[in-house]
Amino acid sequence: MVIGVSEGAPGTPVGRVLGTEDASPLTFWVAVNDGAYLQLDDVVVTTRDLHDLGPVTISGVVTSVRARHEGASFDSDVFMIADGMLPAMVQEAAEVTVTRVEPEVFVPPLPGAVAFRAEGAARDGALSFDRMTRRLPMGSGRDGLPVFLNADFLDGSRGAHVSISGISGVATKTSFATFLLYSVFRSGVFEEAANTKALIFNVKGEDLLFLDHPNTRLDERTRAAYHRLGLEAAPFPQVTVYAPPRAGDRSGSPDVASRLTGVDPFYWTLAEFCQDRLLPYVFADADDERQQYTMVVHAVTAQLARNAVEKDAGISLDGTPLHSYEQLVDYLVDQLNDDATRSAWAGSSVGLGTVNAFARRLISSKRDLSRLIRGDLPSGRNHRISTIDGAQVTVVDLHNLPDRAQRFVVGVTLKTEFERKEKAGTAKPLLFVVLDELNKYAPREGTSPIKEVLLDIAERGRSMGVVLIGAQQTASEVERRIVANSAIRVVGRLDPAEASRPEYGWLPPAQRQRVLLAKPGTMFVAQPEIPVPLAIEFPFPAWATRPGEAGAAPRATLASMISSTDPLKVVKSGRSSGGRSAEAPDDGIPF
C-alpha cells in the first residue's frame, strides 16, 4: 500500500528536509521544528510529488542527531550567545537513513519538504511490517510500540538461524534467546507451535532449570509490556530438564542442587558409545583434526563398532568384560601398547609416536567423561537426551561438567538430533537449538566433529527444520560460514574492540557507538527486509531465570512432572553441587 499525503497526514510534522546538506535516495537530513524533537530510532516519512507518477513516499529511521548554534564563528561565542550579547539560534537536525521508497522510484526528497514522525500505517510501511504475513513480536521500539520479526526468515521459509553477540552478563543474550522462543510458542504466528520443539544447553549455573516456573519479580508493568506485544506473561508450560549423573554415584541421580523434581539423568552406555561411534567426540578440540593421531581415532572407532558386544550393563571386547569408561580406556591403551595387537587397532602404517599421542589424550579423558559413559547402570533405564516424546522445551544442564565433557555432550546430542531430523525427511515440526558460547564449539580456526555438525546445521538445517540460535561474546571468533548463514543478527552491549571488527559492518556507525552504551534488555536486531538494524527492548522474563526467582510451578506443570518422574529421577539432596549460588549474577537477567 502506498502511504502518501493524499491518504492523510502520515504522522506528526516534526520538521523539513534540509537544503544545506545533500539529500540522496538513501539518506537525507531533517531540520527539526522549534519545540519539536527527533531522537535516534524515530521513524520519519516525507513525500515528493512527481508530475508523471504522483506522490513518492520516502521513509527512514533516524540514525544521527545533532544540535548547534547557527551564527557562531568561535567556540567561545557560546558564552556571549547564552548572555544575549551575540545573535544566534539553536538548530537541531537529524540524519535519516532510508528504509523504504514506495513506489520504488529512487529519487531524493526535495529541500523544504515536510517531514513527519511516522505513525500507524506509515510506521508499519516504513519498517516493512505491512509486508510481513507472519509478524513475530520481538520487543518494543523507542516509541514504545511493538517491533516485529518476519517469521519467514526464522523458520526456514526464506531463511533461518539467529546469531546473538554481546558481553557476558550485560548483553542478556540468553534472556533474548528464550524470549524469542516464548514468542514463537505463544504468539500464534506459527501454525504448528504446539508441535515445535526447543533444545537449550544450559552452561551457567542452574539459571535455565526453572523456565516452567513463574518469575516472582514479575509486576503489573511487565505484564502490560507483554500484553502490548500480544503475549501473556507466563512461564513456559512444558519443560523437561536433563542433568548429568553425580560423580561417583552409582544410582545415577542427576547432579542438580536447586530443582528437586522433574529432572532426568542423561548418560551413554558403553554399548551405545561403541555402536554409535562416539569416540571422535572425545577428541573435540578445534585443533585435534590437524593432528596425525586422528587416524588412530577413526581406526579405533571402527574396531569398537565391529567388536563390542553388549553384556549385562557393560560390554565385552574379545571376551574381556568391561563395566566402566576407565576400564575401556585401560583396555584400549593395553591393546595399543602391545606389539601383537597394535596394528589391528591403530593400523599398520601408524607410528608409535602417533599412537602414544592418542593414548595420552584418551587417558586424560577418564576424569572428565567417566560419569557420562557408563557400564554400571541398567541399559533399559531411560537415560538418553531426546526431544521427540518429551516436553516442548528440553533443557540440558552442562554447568557442572568440565570443558571436555561439555563438548562431548553438545557434539553427540546435536549429531543425534540432526540425524533424526535428516531421517524424518520433513522440516516439520521445527527444532530450535539454543547454544551459548558458540565460539567455543565452532571457532574460526581449526576443525572438529562438533564444528562439522554445527556447519551442517547452519548450511542444511533450514531445509530439515533445525534452527540454530547461537550466542557468543565475540562473533569475530566464530566460524564465518555459521554467522553468514544466520538470517537474523542481534547484538547487545559490546566491547569497544569487538565492535570495531568487520563482522559488525552491518551496524551503521552511530549504532556501533551505541552498542558500547546499551543497557541490559536493549538489543539491535538486523533482518533481511529492513536495511537498518532496529533497536528494541524486550520485556523482563516472565519465567524464573535463577533459582531465587522461581515461584511455584503451575498445577498442570507439576502434575506432568510428577507423573513422568519415577523415584530414581527425583533429586532428594539439596546440597550444593559446586555451581553458582542462587544469588549470583547471571547472563539471563536483563534488568
Tell me what pLDDT residue 1 has: 33
Q: Which three cell numbers stand for residue 580?
A: 553458582
Q: Which of 374, 396, 425 is where one domain is finished? A: 374
CA distance 72 to 19: 19
Residues 551 and 407 in one domain: yes
Residue 521: CA atoms inside 13 Å, Cβ hemisphere, count?
14
Residues 198 and 248 in one domain: yes
Tell me what pLDDT residue 157 has: 92
The DSSP string of 508-535 is -HHHHHHTTTPPTTEEEEEETTEEEEEE
pLDDT at residue 571 tops 80: no
Query: Closest Cα to residue 56, out of 42, 66, 46?
Result: 46
Question: What share of the chain has pLDDT > 90, as a percent?
Answer: 67
pLDDT at residue 96 tops 90: yes
Residues 243 and 281 in one domain: no
Tell me what pLDDT residue 570 has: 36
pLDDT at residue 564 tops 60: no
* Tens digits of residue pLDDT in 450-504: 999 999 999 999 999 999 999 999 999 999 999 999 999 999 999 999 999 999 9
Contacts for 330 with CB less than 8 Å, ≥ 6 apart = none
Residues 256 and 296 in one domain: no
**What's the predicted TM-score (pTM) here?**
0.87
**Cα dihedral sign, 356-362-366-368:** positive
For residues 571-577, give the mean pLDDT: 35
Q: Between 169 and 353, where is the model more confident?
A: 353
Residues 364 and 393 in one domain: no
Does 578 fall in a domain? Answer: no
- Residue 184 sits in a domain whose CATH number is 3.40.50
Does 393 fall in a domain? Answer: yes
pLDDT category at 587 given cuts 50, 70, 90 is very low
Contacts for 87 with CB less than 8 Å, ≥ 6 apart = 71, 81
Does 452 fall in a domain? Answer: yes
Mean predicted lDDT score pLDDT of the chain: 87
Of all helices (H) and strands (E), which one includes residue 89? strand 89-102
* Tens digits of residue pLDDT in 275-316: 999 999 998 774 544 467 888 899 999 999 999 999 887 899
pLDDT at residue 255 tops 90: no
Residues 316 and 213 in one domain: no
Tell me what pLDDT residue 8 has: 61
Does 194 fall in a domain? Answer: yes
Does 123 fall in a domain? Answer: yes
Residues 35 and 70 in one domain: yes
Tell me what pLDDT residue 434 has: 97
**Count of structural domains within the chain:** 3
Residues 361 and 274 in one domain: yes
Cis? peptide before 55, omega within 30° of 0: no
CA distance 152 to 490: 17
User: 30: domain range?
Assistant: 5-131
For 32, 284, 292, 452, 475, the CA distances from 287, given in Å and listed in that order, are: 56, 8, 11, 13, 19
Residues 247 and 352 in one domain: no
For residues 524-551, give the mean pLDDT: 91
Residues 12 and 99 in one domain: yes
Residues 316 and 446 in one domain: no
What residues form DSSP beta bridges with 92? 67
For residues 213-241, give the mean pLDDT: 94
Does 231 fall in a domain? Answer: yes
Query: Closest Cα to residue 494, out of 477, 478, 472, 526?
Result: 472
pLDDT category at 551 given cuts 50, 70, 90 is confident
Cis? peptide before 449, omega within 30° of 0: no
Does 521 fall in a domain? Answer: no
- Can you list the alpha helix ranges (DSSP code H) found in 49-149? 77-82, 121-126
Query: Closest Cα to residue 92, out of 55, 148, 40?
Result: 40
Does 141 fall in a domain? Answer: no
Tell me what pLDDT residue 554 has: 58
Q: Which of 350, 374, 398 is where one domain is finished? A: 374
For 54, 293, 332, 371, the CA distances from 298, given in Å and listed in that order, are: 69, 9, 13, 23
Q: Tell me whether residue 193 is exposed, middle or buried, using C-beta atoms within 10 angstroms of its C-beta: 0 to 12, 13 to 18, 19 or more.
A: middle
CA distance 410 to 85: 71
pLDDT at residue 108 tops 90: yes
pLDDT category at 553 given cuts 50, 70, 90 is low
Q: Which of 374, 408, 434 is where one domain is finished? A: 374
- Residue 32 sits in a domain whose CATH number is 2.40.30
Residues 562 and 454 in one domain: yes
